[in-house]
């Protein structure tokens, strides 16, 4: 499959997964969960959604234990990077904007942007090649 097709499909699946991720993050924080824990939980749901869509639709790969283990390893690294960026950026953004929703959106976009770039590169050229 062409790179441009995979990039388009990855963007669509990423958009859907980001809606799941941010929706859960926003909801958990509205119910009083700590921002770092809320991001950790939302990440798990968002990345599970992304994996399921990307394996079948974006990269059209058959199920395999080796591939699944590789994705779990990648997501563990991505989890640390994304939650780390979120945990560092959110308090600073909240202070800078003075608005929880603006800080959530900006922090989410920043952390998600880094994670998405790493995920696509590793999945495209290592896991689902």
Phi-psi region of 61 (alpha: psi -120 to 50; beta: other; left: phi over 0): beta
Question: Comparing 124 with 129, which gets the higher pLDDT?
Answer: 124
pLDDT score at 108: 95
Across 51-73, average pLDDT: 87
Q: What's the distance, CA 47 to chain centroid?
A: 5
Q: How many CB atoms lie within 10 A of CB 9?
A: 17
Q: What residue segments make up the domains of the chain, in order of their start?
A: 3-127
Question: Which residues lie closer than 8 Å to 13 by C-beta, 6 or more apart?
Answer: 49, 50, 53, 54, 57, 58
pLDDT digits (tens, 9 = 90+) for 17-57: 999 999 999 999 999 999 999 999 999 999 899 888 988 89
Question: Comparing 94 with 127, which gets the higher pLDDT?
Answer: 94
The Cα–Cα gap between 90 and 39 comes to 10
In contact, 85 and 45? CB cutoff 8 Å: no
Sequence length of the chain is: 129
The Cα–Cα gap between 18 and 42 comes to 9
pLDDT score at 128: 76
Record the tokens describing residue 128, joined without a space: 């689902």
Average pLDDT, the chain: 92
Q: Over 90: is that where the pLDDT of 71 sits?
A: no
């Amino acid at each position: 499959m062409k790179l441009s097709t995979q990039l388009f499909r990855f963007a669509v699946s990423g958009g859907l997964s980001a809606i799941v991720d941010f929706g859960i993050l926003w909801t958990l924080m509205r119910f009083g969960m700590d921002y770092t824990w809320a991001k950790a939980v939302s990440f798990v749901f968002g990345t599970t959604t992304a994996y399921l869509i990307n394996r079948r639709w974006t990269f059209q790969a058959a199920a395999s234990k080796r591939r699944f283990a590789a994705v779990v390893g990648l997501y563990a690294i991505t989890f640390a990077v994304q939650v780390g960026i979120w945990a560092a950026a959110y308090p600073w953004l909240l202070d800078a904007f003075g608005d929880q929703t603006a800080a959530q959106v900006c922090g989410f976009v920043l952390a998600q942007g880094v994670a998405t770039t790493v995920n696509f590169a590793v999945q495209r050229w290592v896991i689902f090649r």
